[in-house]
């Protein structure tokens, strides 16, 4: 069994699964592999795939033994429900107070749990002195706050929600109006750059709600921001999806697409404040499986232990009832975690030219960004294995994408690290053409011999533009 101490990069998980696949194939000649034993707690079950299962902890409940017994038994990650927020940690300007925050932090660490930090820059739960600031003074106060809190926990927090809830609800896709936003649109990137310098070991997350449905404007606005940050080198490592699902903001099965699309930008994703009005077991299982399906989904945090601990207790949205009994949703999540180790890594296949019979090939199995592709005799090597993703990419080696270096006739088609751009998205059509989403041009072999370069070219239905994915 893998423990939660395992490195949780998607690549390692994939590499390990691949190695196990080889071992299993060899072992199958001798004896079938034993079935994995089911784990009996959420944290242990999530750890089987290198993930965590966490909860929000309220310091005021730590002397309730029913609460702490469940929390300690079931969860291996902790988020302070309120204690690390701005009003709690810097009640007076320049005077930091970590009493309640440390109570949660110490309880977590003494019980072997990792800690998510929540949250450093937010329009809500600001102390009065900060609410009354604006402009340059507020910008400086935000920077000082991030530095003060992150210095206290330097090296101790796995993920920090650096910025929380900066986008507007509804269809505008705009930033939320707030005193922080009014200091200038760059306040978010300033917060992230400050945070990186203050604690280089922490994963830096942007966290929000109503961003789980891929079709919502708020989701798209957040996606554009993260893509922009990745392109410009603003330090961001993860995106937190609060996942407060209710009748006004219901779960939609395209949540998995959302997680996949963000992961394809090169950030980790996490479900950070999960609660579901009515706690439908099916919806809880769906959300769990969505995380399990995405390699870069680090883990799931539910926003409280029992229904009676919830900030929305009237919705009975959690996994334990007010008496601490497991609800049906608990069993459904546990089963999903036990049955739901990551989906087997996609095998990938070759992309064979109709006219040449040769394969789309990375010359010399190079992994360098910018290497132009060629035709080569099919031989099944990893440099000829292409894996379509739900985001429309064609991936090789797991993390390199088929990438158009331009948008005109003759533009080179190369490999490049996947970053979610439209020049890395392709439509695989039933007539055998593969069309670049950005250019509208066809994947085209400029010849049929070994070594013929691959380019973009206007579609004309030639056999050098038709391909078979095996």
Interacting residue ranges for ligand XIL, rule: CB under 6 A: 81-82, 164, 242, 273, 311
Indicate the residue among 273 and 295 with the shorter CB distance to ligand XIL. Answer: 273
- Are 160 and 202 in contact by the 8 Å Cβ rule? The answer is yes
List the beta bridge partners of residue 372: 414
SS3 track for 390-433: CCCCEEECCCEEEEECCCCCCCEEEEEECCCCHHHCEEECCCCC
Catalytic residue among 165, 189, 212, 393: 165
Measured CA to CA in angstroms, residue 340 lies from 247, 308, 395 at distances of 27, 29, 24
When CB distances to ligand XIL are compared, the closest residue is 311
273 is catalytic: yes
Indicate the residue among 164 and 414 with the shorter CB distance to ligand XIL. Answer: 164
Q: How far is the CB of 423 from ligand XIL (least distance, A)?
A: 35
Catalytic residue among 83, 90, 114, 273: 273
Indicate the residue among 205 and 394 with the shorter CB distance to ligand XIL. Answer: 205
Q: How far is the CB of 469 from ligand XIL (least distance, A)?
A: 43
Indicate the residue among 44 and 86 with the shorter CB distance to ligand XIL. Answer: 86
DSSP count for the chain of H helices, then E strands: 12, 21
- Are 372 and 416 in contact by the 8 Å Cβ rule? The answer is no
189 is catalytic: no
Question: Would you mind telling me the total number of residues written for the chain in this entry?
Answer: 470
Q: How far is the CB of 58 from ligand XIL (least distance, A)?
A: 7
List the beta bridge partners of residue 89: none
Which is it for strands 442-445 and 454-457: parallel, antiparallel or unpaired?
antiparallel
Q: How far is the CB of 431 from ligand XIL (least distance, A)?
A: 48
Indicate the residue among 81 and 268 with the shorter CB distance to ligand XIL. Answer: 81
Q: How far is the CB of 125 from ligand XIL (least distance, A)?
A: 7
Measured CA to CA in angstroms, residue 165 lies from 151, 175, 188, 221, 241 at distances of 23, 9, 11, 12, 10
Helix or strand (DSSP H, E) at 268: strand 268-276
Catalytic residue list: 165, 273
């Amino acid at each position: 069994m893998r423990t939660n101490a395992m490195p949780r990069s998607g690549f390692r998980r994939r590499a390990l699964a691949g190695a196990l696949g080889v071992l299993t194939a060899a072992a199958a000649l001798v004896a079938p592999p034993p079935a994995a034993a089911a784990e009996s707690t959420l944290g242990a079950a999530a750890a089987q795939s290198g993930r965590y299962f966490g909860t929000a902890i309220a310091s005021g409940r730590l002397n309730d033994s029913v609460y702490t017994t469940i929390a300690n038994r079931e969860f291996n990650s902790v988020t302070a429900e309120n204690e690390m927020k701005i009003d709690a940690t810097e009640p007076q300007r320049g005077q930091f107070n970590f009493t309640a925050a440390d109570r949660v932090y110490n309880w977590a660490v003494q019980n072997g749990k990792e800690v998510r930090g929540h949250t450093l820059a937010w329009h809500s739960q600001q102390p009065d002195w900060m609410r009354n600031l604006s402009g340059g003074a507020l910008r400086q106060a935000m920077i000082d706050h991030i530095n003060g809190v992150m210095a206290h926990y330097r090296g101790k927090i796995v993920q920090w929600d650096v910025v929380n809830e900066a986008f507007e609800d509804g269809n505008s896709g705009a930033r939320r109006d707030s005193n922080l936003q009014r200091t200038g649109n760059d306040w978010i990137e300033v917060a992230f750059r400050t945070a990186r310098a203050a604690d280089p070991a922490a994963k830096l997350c942007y966290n929000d709600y109503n961003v789980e449905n891929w079709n919502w404007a708020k989701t798209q606005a957040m996606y554009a921001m993260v893509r922009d940050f990745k392109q410009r080198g603003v330090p961001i490592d993860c995106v937190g999806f609060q996942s407060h699902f209710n009748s006004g903001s219901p779960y939609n099965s395209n949540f998995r697409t959302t997680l996949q699309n963000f992961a394809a930008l090169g950030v980790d994703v996490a479900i950070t404040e999960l609660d579901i009005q009515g706690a439908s077991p099916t919806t809880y299982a769906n959300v769990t499986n969505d995380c399990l399906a995405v390699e870069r989904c680090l883990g799931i945090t539910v926003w409280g232990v029992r229904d009676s601990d919830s900030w929305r207790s009237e919705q009975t949205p959690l996994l334990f009832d007010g008496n601490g009994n497991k609800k049906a949703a608990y069993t459904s999540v546990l089963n999903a975690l036990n049955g739901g180790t990551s989906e087997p890594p996609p095998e990938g296949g070759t992309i064979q030219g109709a006219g040449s019979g040769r394969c789309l090939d990375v010359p010399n199995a190079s992994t360098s960004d910018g290497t132009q592709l060629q035709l080569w005799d099919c031989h099944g090597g990893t440099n000829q294995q292409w894996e379509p993703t739900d985001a429309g990419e064609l991936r090789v080696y797991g993390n390199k994408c088929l990438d158009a270096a331009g948008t005109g006739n003759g533009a080179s088609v190369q490999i490049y690290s996947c970053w979610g751009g439209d020049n890395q998205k392709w439509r695989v059509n039933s007539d055998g053409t593969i069309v670049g989403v950005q250019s509208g041009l066809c994947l085209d072999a400029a010849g049929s011999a070994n070594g013929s370069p691959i380019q973009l070219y206007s579609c004309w239905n030639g056999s050098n533009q038709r391909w078979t994915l095996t």
